[in-house]
Amino acid sequence: MKKFAASVLSAVLLLAPLCAYEWGGLFDNTSKITFAENSKLLDQSDSLFMWFSAPLNDEGNIYFKGEGMFKFNHLNNLDGWSKNLNIIDIDLLKFAGDFDTSAGKISASAGRFFVSDFSGAIFTQVSDGAYVNFTMPKTAISAYAGYTGLLNSKTVTILGGEYKDGQFYTTATPFVPVTLSASFPSLFMNQTLSVQASGFFRADGTEDNRAYGTLHLSGPIASKVFYTVLTDFGTKNFNGLMNFSKVSVAYFPKSNIYINGGIEYASGEQFGLKAFNGFSSRYAYSSLVDAQTTGCVVPQVSASISLMENSVVLGANIKSVFVCPDESFEAKGLQFDVNAIYNVFSDLQTAVTLSAFKGYKNSSEDKLSLTLKAAFSF
């Protein structure tokens, strides 16, 4: 790990004098207090992010970017127990380039950067690897291959991976993720059809290999109304199929108002399917125990409005949670979030979020949390 960090630092120092680079930083303070039936928890964190961007040629189409972060996290149950955690990470470090050809545009990146699958429910995290995208007038194809064994497990949670205790930086479980995607924009009536295949292969010999295939259709259905339909089938070690599907409709009645409604389904052990599990951690809803996206049906409605030239943004989200871990189907509870963001200046933002979960039948996972946040970029 030390060798890797030293190599990265050397590369940055060697490259820096060759080009004029830009830099910046962000300081974030987030304090969250959660009240449950028999407990309280204060979760307070201070994070510092520092980034740089350096063009590597005069045209500016080939560049080197990086971002590092330090986070201090304090947990306290307000009853004598507390825990401090220090995390250091590099969440972006990549060479990237955009090249125009007679057939279309090629974009390529290599290094550590954020990747996401079409559904957002399978592979959405920072990863080390290489990505190439070829965009033509009627088709876009892309490919990604990477390695997760050098990531910091304190900032990236891989489902089914091992978590190592320790301060600052502990390496994540090694997998080789591979994705292949194709999109056909404006296929018919401005509709976009996308397909994606992805595989995650354990690199340390453990039998934990996963594969997914996604079909995604999206586009406008009326003026100011857009839809997304997506279904994803996956398998773990080729032992049965699991499914994640969602439908959502977004409506923009005015340029500053956004309304979205939809429903998600993540399979449990029913209809001959296995319980759905993606690769990256993703919460389906937020009760006292943040629940992963598996064995549930979650209809939801959200809305937001921006006011005063985007200085103030108000939002609300409501989810009704039904769980179906097997053939049973149970109404679990209601999650409600409201938030307000105030951009004091273009580089200073404050936000407050009130989040609540209320069980329909029992109160063991009920919670009420208040989050205060301030972020300052410089």
Partner 1 sequence: MEIMKKFITLLSVLFLGAVLNAQSADVISEILEAPVITYGHACYISASSQGLISDDASLEDAVAALVNAKQIPESVSAWDTVKLVNLAYIYSHMFNIKGGFMYRITKGSPRYVFKQMKTDGVIPANSDTTKILSGREALSLYTSCNMKYGEDQFTEEL
Residue ranges that bind partner 1, judged by CB under 8 A: 20, 22, 24, 55, 60, 344-348, 376, 378
| Adjacent-strand bridge partners of 144 | 131, 179
Return the DSSP state at 16.
G
User: Phi and psi dihedrals of 280, rounded to 5?
Assistant: -90, 155
Report whether 304 contacts 312 (CB < 8 A). Answer: no
Place of tokens 């009760």: 287
Q: Of 56 and 85, which has the nearer Cβ to partner 1?
A: 56
Query: Nearest distance from residue 53's CB to partner 1, in Å?
Result: 8
Q: Of 95 and 226, which has the nearer Cβ to partner 1?
A: 95
Q: Of 101 and 346, which has the nearer Cβ to partner 1?
A: 346
Length reported for the chain: 378
Q: Of 65 and 367, which has the nearer Cβ to partner 1?
A: 65
d(CA 236, CA 175): 14
Beta strand 225-236 with 312-323 is unpaired
d(CA 21, CA 66): 11
Q: Of 65 and 319, which has the nearer Cβ to partner 1?
A: 65
Place of tokens 């489902």: 159
Q: Of 67 and 232, which has the nearer Cβ to partner 1?
A: 67
Token readout for 175 is: 């997998």
Query: Nearest distance from residue 349's CB to partner 1, in Å?
Result: 10
Beta strand 257-266 with 210-222 is unpaired
User: Phi and psi dihedrals of 335, rounded to 5?
Assistant: -110, 135
- What contacts 24+ positions apart, CB below 8 Å, involve 206-211? 207/237, 208/160, 208/236, 208/237, 209/236, 209/237, 210/234, 210/235, 210/236, 210/237, 210/277, 210/279, 211/235, 211/238
Query: Nearest distance from residue 376's CB to partner 1, in Å?
Result: 7
Place of tokens 């407990």: 39
Q: Which of 21, 8, 88, 76 is nearest to 48 (CA)?
A: 88
Q: Of 59 and 204, which has the nearer Cβ to partner 1?
A: 59
Task: Collapse the DSSP code of 9 into the 3-class scheme (helix H, G, I; strand E, B; otherwise coil) and give the result.
Answer: helix
Query: Nearest distance from residue 341's CB to partner 1, in Å?
Result: 15
Query: Nearest distance from residue 219's CB to partner 1, in Å?
Result: 27
Q: Of 39 and 310, which has the nearer Cβ to partner 1?
A: 310
Report whether 60 contacts 84 (CB < 8 A). Answer: no
Give the Cα-Cα-Cα angle 148, 152, 154 (nearest 5 degrees): 125
Token readout for 304 is: 């937001």
Query: Nearest distance from residue 61's CB to partner 1, in Å?
Result: 9
Q: Of 238 and 345, which has the nearer Cβ to partner 1?
A: 345
